[in-house]
Chains A and B, each alone.
Chain A
Amino acid sequence: MIHVHHRADDSSPLTAHLDDESDTASAGAALAAALRVGLVIYLRGDLGAGKTTLVRGVLRALGHDGKVKSPTYTLIEPYLVSRLHLYHFDFYRFAVPEEYLEAGLDEYFDGNGVCLVEWPDKAAPYIAAPDLEIRLTVSGPGRRLEALALTEAGQTCIRKLDSELSRNPT
């Protein structure tokens, strides 16, 4: 059961409590409905917080029925679903942020797809600024989800995400 907390206004972060892993996937499905081409979304949270599970929820809702593997080893897992390019990054293994440039990964941030980025700080300051940040933190046996918009496109996304999450409190 996803519990969405009421937002005071558009500029305050969206917060919700997720009871379990299936809630994290449902939150991903809600996010899928709020995606627009060109969005850059940072996913924050410790190892095991559910970042990849959230992305799996996004991809399932978009109609991807293949595997959604952790990109920790490959750095990037690209998807093409419903004519949408979705790039799932994981920079956990970067030791120095220059590797982001040397690996040519900046080429994916050209505005023609959606970029979901785990461990973005490991590629700072080179990586593109996000439209929104989603943070997952351990909260008892569940997770706390916090989404903060940093651009107008991000705000539009979060408004839609808010209404999707509130509409489907599964």
Chain B
Amino acid sequence: MRVLGIESSCDETGVAVFDVEAGLLGHCVHSQIDLHATYGGVVPELASRDHIRRLPALVRQVLAESGCSLAQIDAIAYTAGPGLAGALLVGASYAEALGMSLGVPVLPVHHLEGHLLSPLLSADPPEFPFVALLVSGGHTQLMQVTGVGEYVLLGESLDDAAGEAFDKTAKLIGLGYPGGPQLARLAERGHPGRFRLPRPMLKSGDLDFSFSGLKTAVLNVVSGPEWKPEDAADLAADFQDAAVDVLCAKALKALELTGLSRLVVAGGVGANRQLRQRLDVATRRKGWRVYYPEPELCTDNGAMIAFAGARRLAAGEVPGMACAVKVHPRWPLAALRAPGAA
């Protein structure tokens, strides 16, 4: 079975073909980051217009790369939420219409399910059950995963997502958009420990996060009388240290509380080098293991959507009514059910 996957929930337009026997045949992401960099932020409606323009060409390109034609596609999976309504609707309409014209089943997929299953696409995939740490610009969650569609929310951010905190802190320090990765690069040149930033909710006793106060602490530093722009690298290092401290501590606590030994880290912030180093060291010490998606599959992509759709179809999920274009801009992951479950 071959599944065409389509992702268009935010900035990236992603398309992929996944074959249940042969694996990932091809995938391509058309990042809209350049467009946004000229404006200085993510642009919801511009993004949706861009998805419209780019989807047909991307599908042609990925099919060519995969060496297959539309007639060889057995099903289509698309991101139905959560995300920006306009952007989601482009992918949904395209997928449903294409599915109808080809006469193949079309499956709406949860964006975060795509992310948390994405490490299963790597050469050394984790087995169920595991704890998943989802960290991106829009989401910061810890989930207990016992199988496809079996997710229990263990904790989440009460305010800003971790990636949002990286981006906003970068802006406060004076870096461009998207500032998160730049902040991480700047942090490598700095020395942490000078600014004594807080570790929000580190000792809260639960698995929830809060990053808003950390951002405020950075604001207080940069608007204080002693702030010098040449200290930016040290402040970036301090911020990254604080954010990574909390992410690590809560992820390890989640493993402890669930009694599980496998941690999956997904989402854009999962590419952060310091986060990876710290998690690797801490889990090794306990005899646990961390799994990451392939680097190119950390950020939004179509491969994870094709894969999640394929897993669901293979497990017996029956797609709903033909050509029902319905998206869910807000959609709790824990609301999903396993394929075939009532």
Is A166 among interface residues, defined by CB-CB distance under 8 A?
A: no
Q: Quick one: closest A residue to B161, CB to CB? A: A73
Residue contact B158 to A48, C-beta cutoff 8 Å: no
- Of B86, B138, B157, which contacts A74 at CB under 8 A? B138
Complex-state Cα separation, A93 to B159, whole angstroms: 17
Q: A53-B212, A95-B39 are in contact. Are A72 and B160 (CB under 8 A)?
A: yes
**Segment 206-233 of B: residues with Cβ below 8 Å from A:** 212-213, 215-216, 218-220, 223
User: What is the CB-to-nearest-CB distance from A27 to chain B, in angstroms, rounded to a whole number?
Assistant: 15
Q: Is A69 part of the contact surface with B, judged by Cβ < 8 Å?
A: yes
Contact with A along B5-49 (1 / 0, CB 8 A): 000000000000000000000000000000010011111111000
Give chain A's interface secondary structure class.
loop
How many Cβ-Cβ contacts under 8 Å join chain A to chain B?
Answer: 83
Q: Please tell me which one of the listed residues A48, A73, A96, A102 contacts residue B216 in the complex, with CB atoms under 8 A apart.
A: A48
CB pair A70 B212 closer than 8 Å: yes
When distances are taken between beta carbons in the complex, the residues of chain B under 8 Å from A68 are 158-159
| Contact of A167 with B by CB under 8 A | no
Q: Which residues of B contact A93 (CB under 8 A)?
A: 41-44
Interface string of B72-100 (1 = CB under 8 A from A): 00000000001011100000000000000
Give the complex CA separation of A19 and B324 in angstroms.
53
- Contact residues in A for B39 (Cβ distance below 8 Å): 95-96
Q: Does B329 belong to the interface (CB within 8 Å)?
A: yes
Q: Is A99 a contact partner of B171 (Cβ separation < 8 A)?
A: no
With both chains docked as a complex, state the minimum distance between the C-beta of B273 and any C-beta of chain A, in angstroms.
24
Range for the number of chain B residues in contact with chain A = 35 or more
The residue on B at minimum CB distance from A48 is B219
The answer to whether A34 has its CB under 8 Å from any CB of chain B is no
Nearest-neighbour CB distance to chain A for B86, whole angstroms, equals 6
Cα A68 to Cα B85 in complex, Å, equals: 20
Chain A 81-135 interface residues, beta-carbon cutoff 8 Å to B: 92-96, 98-99, 102-103
Chain A interface residues (CB < 8 Å from chain B): 21, 46-50, 52-53, 56, 67-70, 72-75, 92-96, 98-99, 102-103, 138, 141
Q: List 17 A-B contacts (CB under 8 A).
A: A46-B219, A47-B171, A47-B215, A48-B168, A48-B218, A68-B159, A69-B159, A70-B161, A70-B164, A72-B160, A72-B164, A73-B161, A94-B44, A95-B41, A99-B44, A102-B45, A138-B223
